[in-house]
Chain A
Amino acid sequence: MSDHDLVLLAHLLRRAGFGATRDELEEYATKDYAAVVEDLLHPERFPEVEEDVVCRYYSLGTIMEDSPAVWQGRWIYRMINTKRPLQEKMTLFWHGVFATGWHKSEHTPSMALQIDMFRRNGLSDIKTILLDLSRDPAMLDWLDNSENHKDAPNENYGRELLELFSMGVGNYSEADIKMAARAFTGWTYAQPIPLYPYGFYPAHFVYRPDDHDNSVKTFLGKTGRFNGEDIVEAIVKKPATAKFIARHLYNFFVADEPQVPAWNQMPPQDPQAISALSRAYFDSGGDLRAMLRVLLHAPFFKEARFRKVKSPAELVASTMKLVGTYRFPDPGLLTLATASNVMGQSLLNPPTVEGWHTGKEWIDGGTLNERVNFAVNEFADVTKPGVQAIIERLSALGATFTPEALVDHCLDLMGSLTVGNETRQALLRYAQNGGALRFGTSEERQASAVRVGRLLQLIVASKEYQFA
């Protein structure tokens, strides 16, 4: 294990997961990079988060509540504690691409079911993913496919399937949208059992042949009595779909791109990367695992350090990993959900079908204020296990630290952070104020712990900490 490996692994885990503690990084580093990537790509090798534990810690009333808040908290708990970080990251990825908002149906069980579907199939192939999506009750309701009838087609799902979920604007005609919509007539859901007083019942998919338009349709240049499956089959064969999914992966895992609606006018910042990912798409039959394998091994990924603004959920989950709380579902998970909400990301409830505007658009005065204060407050208490672990590692490294060494070690222990000159100078100025840091006597240790805690607070307040 070299320091170089740890820095790269820290980058990998920030992108393919929700960050990692130093202990976790060192454990990953017992294997080589390629083996770590394979482990990430194969979540089934590792145990699931025991979610029933959450149910034991929270009252039935809270767990069953008809509000997304509980599920937001449970999801963040998963992000913090999962042994399958890439599976959870892909769940968040698809949630952003196939953005379905709770606020239309206000039916939490169906939203939870959709998220679970992304968890289950997020690393499978694009055909499976799009077919499952087309049968998902939350999606069928969100984009009105339940209102898409043989005698009265509703184009909403057909349009967004092409525009936002697979091919992107400019690669199909208005006639294709109409045909796709007609092919999906009859795809609907059965009304769920009412939430009260019976409890938590999701809706389920039903296909109604009597409401399906079985006429001959022409879609993307081919003609036949197409049903929904045929539409998906045709879509996944198109280079536009490969490129579109490739660009989404690049935007989510490598570096922030412009917002999706602008992709039609603005070419990708790294066309070669998109080509490489598209090639992997066709070589593998649209397999996400294969695309991600190429991505995670590519120099364009390894070199793209700190080029993405963390989403609020990432910021919250990765901060909690560092401070080391919520390793059990202690009371307060809902406050983590609130934290993400006020930073602008209400999980299960993206504002529009376009999903959240990401990158720079996560940041405004209010959200930056929330981000900084959240992280600073989390690091206020030096008795938290994660902060203690950092202090112990420091004291194990030596009895005395110069200000330079202190700043460098702390940045390193916080996930191998790289900071610009202004930030480094500011941190140094803080470290210099109290002279050299000593861990000799117990009084020195105590005083040093307080100073380290404050330095960590400054680090998480930095602009660099906003980036993954």
Chain B
Amino acid sequence: MAISAKAPVLVVVQLSGGNDFMNTIIPYTTGIYYDSRPTVGIPAEQVLPLNDTLAFHPRTGPLKELYDAGKVAIVQGIGYPNSNRSHFRGMDIWHTCEPNTIVTEGWLGKAIRDLDPHHENVLTGVSFGRGLPRAMVAPGVPVTSVGDLDTYGMMTGISDVQQRQEALTLFQEMYTPALGTGPVLDYLCHTGTDVLKGADVLKQAPATYTSTVQYPDNPIAKSLRDVARVHLAGLGTRIFYTQHGGYDTHASEVPTHPRLVGELSGALKAFMQDLEEHHAADEVVILVFTEFGRRIRDNGSGTDHGSGGGAFIIGTRVAGGLYAEYPSLDPAEQLYSEDLKHTFDFRGVYATLLEQWLGLAAAPLVGGTYEQLQPFRN
């Protein structure tokens, strides 16, 4: 099923806080957009049109360049029925594909289990950022969670190299499994040893990486550069997870949101350039998603939680263009008379990536069968 000759890799970028899709892909010829958004609306003369009705945000030039090169699939109006407006619950639903019950197993955690059922590589799933997102969690599935690639590992607070090496050697000794100590101590020993192993292998990534690409100086660019370094080191990682925070723009959206989408756009462009420079782009696909869109009407300073967001699927193997439908702004079509109605179920996007890209059976991972997109070139 998988398209790529090399093992396909999925990079997930989570925009935390609820990205304002209407101000990312802007319906710049729709009067209702400007009527509803006197404060945060982007003037038509500033936008970067992609067709007669839709335009990129003026600060997302690099993303538009990728789009113009046919590498970006824009999935419009993505969501699910009765969209939850709580960040945490909303994000939970996106992570677990369970809108009705609260569970702790994530869709990517289960995907990692299917990709590496015998736990042969502790780096099959790698998450950047502290604390593991629930999407990556499944019982018994080791996932490496990296706060900072350059300082990842046990005892990184010990700055003296020799002293740290000594501490690590002794750590390894302390975590040597011993007979008859019981399953919990045994599990702790294996987990501790896995972290050492993972850190040891990950060390190679910064050491072997060279590139002419200059990434912008912002958190998401740093995370994507870390992804590039690990991917290019060929450590067998199949699923990467990164997060870009701050999208909860209830207030001061005008200065904040442009900065964020600008950072994101520059980071994605640099990441793609980096992969292409190393002839490693064909095996990578990026999914950019967020937990919900924002309210159609602005509140005089920002926008409140809404629904009907958008996602991007990016890569050289992607058939760029617009997918699904942009939700109607017509008041008669609005959800609760204030929200965008979703036009495509997010679980269909996941299923698309799981089946058509990673070659996995999607239904057990997303909890059912959903309509898929066809975003890949044959």
In the bound complex, what is the Cα–Cα distance between A200 and B238 (angstroms)?
Answer: 47
Residue from A256, A364, A421, A458 in contact with B178 in the complex, judged by beta carbons closer than 8 Å: A421
Residue from B163, B178, B198 in contact with A420 in the complex, judged by beta carbons closer than 8 Å: B178
Residue from B87, B131, B156, B175 in contact with A463 in the complex, judged by beta carbons closer than 8 Å: B175
- Does the CB pair B142–A463 fall under 8 Å? no
Which residues of B are found within 8 Å of A421, using beta-carbon distances?
Answer: 178
Per-residue CB proximity of A99-110 to B under 8 Å, as 1/0?
A: 001111010000
Within 8 A of A (CB), among B124-148: 127, 130-132, 134, 137, 139, 142-145
- Does the CB pair B189–A463 fall under 8 Å? yes
Closest to A349 in B: B88
Residue from A102, A367, A422, A433 in contact with B174 in the complex, judged by beta carbons closer than 8 Å: A422
Query: How near does chain B come to A320, taking the closest CB pair, in angstroms?
Result: 16
* Residue B79 lies at the interface, judged by CB distance under 8 Å to chain A: no
- Does the CB pair A430–B154 fall under 8 Å? no
* Residue B187 lies at the interface, judged by CB distance under 8 Å to chain A: yes
In the bound complex, what is the Cα–Cα distance between A376 and B153 (angstroms)?
Answer: 12
- Does the CB pair B143–A365 fall under 8 Å? yes
Query: How near does chain B come to A441, taking the closest CB pair, in angstroms?
Result: 24
Which residues of B are found within 8 Å of A458, using beta-carbon distances?
Answer: 167, 170-171, 174
Query: How near does chain A come to B107, taking the closest CB pair, in angstroms?
Result: 16
Within 8 A of B (CB), among A193-230: none
Which residues of B are found within 8 Å of A412, using beta-carbon distances?
Answer: none
Helix, strand, loop or mixed for chain A's interface?
Answer: helix
Which residues of B are found within 8 Å of A256, using beta-carbon distances?
Answer: 184
Which residues of A are found within 8 Å of B122, using beta-carbon distances?
Answer: 365
Query: How near does chain A come to B99, taking the closest CB pair, in angstroms?
Result: 14
* Residue B104 lies at the interface, judged by CB distance under 8 Å to chain A: yes
* Residue B361 lies at the interface, judged by CB distance under 8 Å to chain A: no
Which residues of A are found within 8 Å of B130, using beta-carbon distances?
Answer: 342, 366, 370
Which residues of B are found within 8 Å of A370, using beta-carbon distances?
Answer: 130-131
- Does the CB pair B88–A341 fall under 8 Å? no
- Does the CB pair B132–A364 fall under 8 Å? yes
Query: How near does chain B come to A238, taking the closest CB pair, in angstroms?
Result: 27
Within 8 A of B (CB), among A75-120: 101-104, 106
- Does the CB pair B188–A363 fall under 8 Å? yes
- Does the CB pair B155–A373 fall under 8 Å? yes
* Residue B194 lies at the interface, judged by CB distance under 8 Å to chain A: yes
Residue from A106, A365, A433, A462 in contact with B195 in the complex, judged by beta carbons closer than 8 Å: A365
Per the CB 8 Å criterion, the residue count for chain A at the interface is 48
- Does the CB pair B191–A103 fall under 8 Å? no
In the bound complex, what is the Cα–Cα distance between A101 and B89 (angstroms)?
Answer: 10
Q: Which of A175-183, A280-288, A352-360 has 4 or more CB atoms under 8 Å from chain B?
A: A352-360
- Does the CB pair B192–A429 fall under 8 Å? no
In the bound complex, what is the Cα–Cα distance between A352 and B105 (angstroms)?
Answer: 12
In the bound complex, what is the Cα–Cα distance between A101 and B86 (angstroms)?
Answer: 12
Which residues of A are found within 8 Å of B153, using beta-carbon distances?
Answer: 369
Residue from A341, A352, A426 in contact with B170 in the complex, judged by beta carbons closer than 8 Å: A426
Given A365-B144, A458-B167, the answer on whether A376 and B174 have CB atoms closer than 8 Å is: no
* Residue A10 lies at the interface, judged by CB distance under 8 Å to chain B: no
Which residues of A are found within 8 Å of B155, using beta-carbon distances?
Answer: 372-373, 376, 457, 461
Which residues of A are found within 8 Å of B194, using beta-carbon distances?
Answer: 365
- Does the CB pair A462–B86 fall under 8 Å? no
* Residue B212 lies at the interface, judged by CB distance under 8 Å to chain A: no
Which residues of A are found within 8 Å of B131, using beta-carbon distances?
Answer: 341-342, 344, 366, 370
In the bound complex, what is the Cα–Cα distance between A366 and B122 (angstroms)?
Answer: 12
Which residues of B are found within 8 Å of A102, using beta-carbon distances?
Answer: 88
In the bound complex, what is the Cα–Cα distance between A214 and B42 (angstroms)?
Answer: 57
* Residue B181 lies at the interface, judged by CB distance under 8 Å to chain A: yes
- Does the CB pair B145–A420 fall under 8 Å? no
Residue from B86, B157, B166, B174 in contact with A103 in the complex, judged by beta carbons closer than 8 Å: B86
Residue from A359, A366, A423 in contact with B184 in the complex, judged by beta carbons closer than 8 Å: A359
Which residues of B are found within 8 Å of A344, using beta-carbon distances?
Answer: 131
Per-residue CB proximity of A425-436 to B under 8 Å, as 1/0?
A: 111011001000
Which residues of B are found within 8 Å of A357, using beta-carbon distances?
Answer: 104
Within 8 A of B (CB), among A319-360: 341-342, 344, 349, 351-353, 357, 359-360
* Residue B2 lies at the interface, judged by CB distance under 8 Å to chain A: no
Query: How near does chain B come to A166, taking the closest CB pair, in angstroms?
Result: 20
Which residues of B are found within 8 Å of A380, using beta-carbon distances?
Answer: 157-158
* Residue A309 lies at the interface, judged by CB distance under 8 Å to chain B: yes
Per-residue CB proximity of B204-241 to A under 8 Å, as 1/0?
A: 00000000000000000000000000000000000000
In the bound complex, what is the Cα–Cα distance between A430 and B168 (angstroms)?
Answer: 12
Given A103-B89, A364-B132, A369-B145, the answer on whether A454 and B163 have CB atoms closer than 8 Å is: yes
Q: Give the 5 A-B CB pairs with smallest separation, nearest first.
A: A366-B145, A103-B88, A426-B173, A377-B157, A352-B102
23 of the cross-chain contacts (CB-CB < 8 Å) are A103-B88, A352-B103, A353-B102, A357-B104, A364-B132, A364-B142, A365-B194, A366-B130, A368-B191, A369-B145, A369-B153, A372-B154, A377-B157, A422-B173, A422-B174, A423-B174, A454-B167, A457-B158, A461-B154, A461-B155, A461-B171, A461-B174, A463-B185
Q: Which B residues contact A (CB, under 8 angstroms)?
A: 86-89, 92, 102-104, 122, 127, 130-132, 134, 137, 139, 142-145, 153-158, 163, 166-167, 170-171, 173-176, 178, 181, 183-185, 187-189, 191-192, 194-195, 198
Q: Which A residues contact B (CB, under 8 angstroms)?
A: 101-104, 106, 256, 309, 341-342, 344, 349, 351-353, 357, 359-361, 363-370, 372-373, 376-377, 380, 420-423, 425-427, 429-430, 433, 454, 457-458, 461-463, 466
